Amino acid sequence: MRKKAYLRTLEMALAALLTFIFVSYVIPRAATVPEEKKIQIVSILAQNDDFKNCIVSDDFDCIEEMLNEFVPEQYEFVYDISESPFTIRGNLPKKRIFIDSFFFSGNSTIYKPMMIKV
């Protein structure tokens, strides 16, 4: 009878040890999602005077051309330009979405507050 008690105690300790190892190492690694590199498009273009002039003059072809240069090819993008930072875009795709936004007060000569979201 004593041999069975020692074996059951050893079995219980081994089960507890294996459970602890599984919970400590396997589950946290499975739960972590690899972090994607955050791309900052608008904050880079905000320093570009040509881009500011495109926004102030409402030249959408110029804006799209400049955004195409900075957005990596594996990403699709949509942009909104509005005077209000609270404008919400409808019909966004049901995918993972990254948003970069910036408030422009105008260019060096014209004050025209605009918000661009990419």
Radius of gyration of the chain measured on its C-alpha atoms: 27
In this prediction, residue 43 carries a pLDDT of 72
Residue 41: how many other CB atoms lie within 10 Å: 21
110 contacts 54 by C-beta, under 8 angstroms: no
pTM (two decimals):
0.54
pLDDT surpassing 60 at residue 108? yes
- Domain ranges for the chain: 1-32, 42-117
CA distances from 73 to 1, 11, 105, 108 (A): 71, 56, 29, 31
> How does residue 34 score in pLDDT terms, banded at 50, 70 and 90?
low
For 36-77, the pLDDT digits (tens) are 566 677 777 778 888 878 877 878 888 888 888 888 787 777
Mean pLDDT on 25-37: 61
Q: How many CB atoms lie within 10 A of CB 42?
A: 20
How do residues 2-21 score in pLDDT, each as one tens digit? 667 778 888 899 999 988 88
